[in-house]
Amino acid sequence: MEMLSTEVSGFLANSSMIRKMFEAGVELKKKYGADKVYDFSLGNPDLPPPAQVKAALHEIADKADQPFALGYMPNAGYPDVRAIVAAKVSEEQGVTISANELIMSCGAAGGLNALFRAILTPGAEVICPSPYFVEYGFYTGNFGGKLVPVKSKDFTFELDIPAIAAAVNEKTKAVIINSPNNPTGQIYSAKEIKELCDALHAAEEKFGTKICLISDEPYRFLNFDNVEIPSVFSYYDNSVVIGSYSKNLSLAGERMGYIAVNPKMYDLEKFMAAITMTTRILGTVNAPCIGQQLLRTCINAQVDLEVYRQRRAVMAKVLEEAGLEFTLPRGAFYFFVKSPIADETEFVKELAESCVLAVPGRGFGCPGYIRLTFCVSEKVIANSADAFKKVMAKYK
Ligand code: PLP
């Protein structure tokens, strides 16, 4: 008899490719030394948090001897922090929301789970353009939902709207998009978002259902070319924005995120009560109190975007000179690069033999590509040039 559920045992047996690369990296670093291994496998923000975070932590520590300084709070979060974050989201979305339309969550990941708990019933489908952040499959599956990936356009990774429209049916409960995107680094244009929303309006009409459009935006600030990141709130009433401070404040371990809901959401008050309740009953109870308190003074701080922009430039040069093909990422910190051979897992193995660690695209539902992360120093990126050239020499 097994203690574990068959489902989770199965997950373990197929454990994530990113994890496998992580383990391979540890081995290689032991063997050759950390400075000889070019590890582009993990999306773990490596810049220190901005100075304001340290100052805010000192202030929080100074007040930690007060009653309730670190105590329970309303499940939705501190009311004043919700108002501060709502004001920031209003600026970003160009649509005014108040604290009543926003709750704090345990990172974007916790926010997505609270949201899916509130809207999914077993068998409900969630459409997602692929390639995609692989955890979406687990998060929907946690509540009996089914992720339905729809392939984006080859190489540019623009949305394939007719294909998404064709995938919608009466079981479709939500569509989740992520822009700037992990793993492609692309940002959807206003035209794509408008066309997507038109297709969803038509589907709601056709099937007599409500479809929630979820925009997962933890990389919103990582927008290298200052292009417009369209506001889903302006195009679609039944929309939710999920955000996080994991990347812009380099605060991933503190698990700070939020769920912002369009003020025109169907049955808004009940929707907010539901996601507040699911935050509680999932056992997270409320978002971390220290992280929330930090936001009182750090809401407008962020890590130095210029560092990431410069790394993007260096990596683009390294990859180009090695003869690899890719669409330049406009945001986030990933390159999604075409593999020179159809089986990208083979290519990833060859790269690893030259101490370059990448993740196969099939880990994101998109074989034939590899993902490289630039959460590593510019020096590491520059030093990897010879290794890339050596592997690619075989394909010239
Ligand atoms: N969504 C995407 C697309 C991500 O890449 C990540 C983290 O890498 C998350 C959500 C989760 O972020 P958080 O740390 O805020 O939970």
Q: Which of 33-47, 141-155, 203-217, 345-359 has the weakest average pLDDT?
A: 33-47
Tracing tokens 């971390």 back to the chain, one arrives at 288
Q: Is this structure's pTM higher than 0.95?
A: yes
Mean pLDDT for all residues in the chain:
96
Residue of 216, 242, 295 best suited for mutating to test ligand 1, as the one with most atoms within 8 Å of CB: 216
Interval 62-107: pLDDT, tens: 999 999 999 999 999 999 999 999 999 999 999 999 999 999 999 9
- Please name the residue whose Cα sits nearest to atom 5 of ligand 1: 182
Hey, which bits of 189-297 come out as E strands? Answer: 212-216, 239-244, 256-261
Closest of 209, 207, 215, 206 to residue 234, by C-alpha: 215
Residue of 220, 244, 295, 334 best suited for mutating to test ligand 1, as the one with most atoms within 8 Å of CB: 244
Residue of 246, 282, 333 best suited for mutating to test ligand 1, as the one with most atoms within 8 Å of CB: 246
Q: Does residue 218 carry a pLDDT above 70?
A: yes
User: Between helices 344-353 and 17-32, what is the axis angle to 10°?
Assistant: 20
Instruction: Return the pLDDT at 116.
Output: 98
DSSP secondary structure of 346-371: HHHHHHHHTTEE-EEGGGGT-TTEEE
Q: Does residue 18 carry a pLDDT above 70?
A: no
Backbone φ and ψ for 252, nearest 5 degrees, come out as -60, -35
Q: Which residues surround ligand 1 with Cβ inside 6 Å?
A: 43, 107-109, 133, 178, 182, 216, 218, 244, 246, 252, 257
Instruction: Return the pLDDT at 21.
Output: 73
* CA atoms within 13 Å, Cβ hemisphere of 337: 30
Interval 188-213: pLDDT, tens: 999 999 999 999 999 999 999 999 99
Atom of ligand 1 nearest to the CA of 106: 16
Distance (Å, whole) CA 126 – CA 382 = 40
Instruction: Return the pLDDT at 166.
Output: 98
Distance (Å, whole) CA 110 – CA 116 = 10
Atom of ligand 1 nearest to the CA of 244: 15
Q: What is the mean pLDDT of residues 255-276?
A: 98
Closest of 256, 294, 282, 300 to residue 103, by C-alpha: 256
CA of 277 to the centre of ligand 1 (A): 22
Interval 21-47: pLDDT, tens: 778 888 888 889 888 999 999 888 999
Mention every residue, 6+ apart, whose C-beta is less than 8 A from residue 366: 130, 131, 151, 183, 336
Instruction: Return the pLDDT at 386.
Output: 97
* CA atoms within 13 Å, Cβ hemisphere of 350: 18
Q: State both tokens at 35.
A: 């400075």
Atom of ligand 1 nearest to the CA of 245: 15
